[in-house]
């Protein structure tokens, strides 16, 4: 797995740190595979020697050891928990370690969800992100005579898009005493934080994607919009997108339910129980083009709602240029209140993560309204 420089440096502090981060990555893949978070269809490799619960217990023990080692607590194994759970170094290091684990997992996790139409970039604190957009148009070629010195001069200028990440935060109630005493799980807290950030980031990016593609309609871009699915219309649109992206082949993108509509117009077809359509609910390839299913995202603003629309198919050329740039700034910050600040001795921990997104592309994309 490719880590940022900061996470790699943090994880290399000691041999036990390297083992902890490797173990958490394995735990995350196991967690992801069993829960298929955010509709994931990817298959993850992980150690099957231990169950997920056993891995969680091992990682929590390793986390406690890592936190106290970084907090410089001597002989912590021989001393009662009440002597060091309120230590300011312990409070700081607890969520510094959790933040580093989040930063290790989040880029890989979010890329899997939005990679087909988004390009994820990672920067340091204070970074803004600048993208140069080159013109897509070609120069016209003029018919000339043998004694004509030159044609009309052509000149093109690149555009530029700047992305400035915005800070987002999550505040959760946690009892550091229960965590260090082994009654609450730091591993589960870190995994839930990753899922929460990933879900909100996916919603932000998807909203921008839909807003952008809604501009492709029958009145302004007649060659890139199709109302109603037919196999002829799909092939024609895919050919147009491929041609205008200068040979970068188009793919058909949509939810599993939307892709299920991609079938031959002729009803006299047959498929067996071993075919992709029976196993996946859609064909992986149709009419010479790949079909890519977008994992559904929970619409947290609506009870049991789903965010991704089943009413559209999008025709994109991911190999040409991704439509959206997603930019992550800095590492995950955290702040925890004192254990005696609240009357019920419950602490609150806030995680901060900065990201932003913008349409930065010269590629062409099409829409089929189902």
pLDDT for 219: 67
pTM of structure = 0.80
Please identify which residue in the block is written with the tokens 């309204």.
Answer: 369
pLDDT for 40: 53
pLDDT for 105: 85
Helix orientation angle between 52-70 and 15-35, rounded to the nearest 10 degrees: 150
Please identify which residue in the block is written with the tokens 């231990």.
Answer: 50
Q: Which residues on adjacent β-strands are paired with residue 327?
A: 121, 356
Residue 62: partners with Cβ closer than 8 Å, 6 or more residues away: 16, 19, 20, 23
Helix orientation angle between 15-35 and 88-114, rounded to the nearest 10 degrees: 50
pLDDT by 10-residue block (mean), the chain, 370 residues: 74 85 88 64 77 88 85 70 74 85 84 84 88 84 83 84 92 78 80 85 89 79 85 92 90 92 80 78 88 84 86 90 89 82 81 91 90
pLDDT for 78: 65
Please identify which residue in the block is written with the tokens 């302004």.
Answer: 220
Q: In 3D, which of 121, 139, 140, 141 has the Cα closest to residue 130?
A: 121
Domain segments of the chain as ranges: 5-131+160-207+325-356, 215-322+362-369
pLDDT for 2: 61
What distance in Å separates the CA atoms of residue 273 and residue 250, rounded to the nearest whole number?
Answer: 28
Strand, helix or coil at 111? helix
pLDDT for 152: 82
> CA angle, corner 195, sides to 190 and 201, nearest 5?
125
| The CATH number, out of the four listed (1.10.3720.10, 3.90.400.10, 2.40.50.140, 3.30.2320.10), of the domain defined by the range 215-322+362-369 | 3.30.2320.10
Joined together, the tokens standing for residue 333 give 């910050």
**Are 208 and 359 contacting, i.e. CB atoms less than 8 angstroms apart?**
yes
**Are 265 and 228 contacting, i.e. CB atoms less than 8 angstroms apart?**
no
């Amino acid at each position: 797995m490719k880590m940022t420089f900061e996470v790699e440096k943090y994880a290399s502090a000691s041999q036990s740190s390297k083992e902890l981060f490797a173990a958490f990555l394995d735990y995350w893949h196991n967690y992801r595979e069993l829960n298929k978070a955010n509709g994931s269809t990817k298959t993850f490799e992980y150690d099957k020697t231990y169950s997920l619960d056993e891995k969680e217990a091992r990682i929590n023990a390793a986390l406690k050891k890592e936190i106290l080692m970084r907090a410089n607590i001597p002989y912590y194994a021989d001393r009662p928990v009440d002597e060091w759970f309120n230590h300011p170094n312990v409070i700081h290091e607890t969520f510094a370690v959790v933040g580093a684990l989040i930063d290790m997992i989040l880029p890989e996790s979010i890329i899997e969800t939005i990679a087909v139409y988004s390009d994820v970039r990672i920067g340091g604190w204070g970074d803004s992100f600048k993208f140069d957009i080159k013109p897509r148009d070609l120069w016209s070629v003029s018919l000339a005579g043998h004694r004509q010195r030159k044609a009309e001069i052509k000149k093109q200028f690149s555009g530029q898009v700047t992305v400035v990440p915005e800070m987002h935060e999550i505040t959760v109630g946690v009892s550091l005493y229960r965590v260090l005493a082994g009654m609450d799980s730091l591993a589960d807290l870190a995994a839930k934080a990753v899922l929460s950030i990933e879900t909100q980031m996916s919603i932000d990016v998807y909203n921008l994607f839909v807003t952008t593609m809604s501009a492709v309609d029958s009145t302004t871009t007649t060659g890139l919009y199709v109302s109603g699915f037919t196999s002829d219309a799909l092939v024609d649109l895919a050919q147009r997108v491929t041609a205008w992206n200068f040979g970068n082949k188009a793919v058909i993108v949509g939810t599993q339910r939307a892709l299920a509509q991609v079938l031959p117009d002729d009803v006299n077809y047959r498929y067996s129980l071993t075919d992709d359509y029976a196993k996946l609910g859609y064909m992986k390839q149709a009419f010479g083009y790949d079909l890519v299913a977008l994992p559904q995202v929970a619409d947290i603003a609506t009870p049991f709602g789903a965010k991704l629309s089943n009413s559209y198919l999008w025709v994109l050329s991911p190999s040409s240029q991704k439509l959206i740039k997603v930019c992550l700034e800095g590492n995950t910050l955290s702040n925890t209140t004192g254990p005696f600040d609240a009357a019920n001795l419950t602490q609150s921990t806030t995680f901060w993560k900065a990201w932003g997104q913008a349409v930065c592309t010269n590629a062409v994309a099409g829409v089929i309204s189902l």
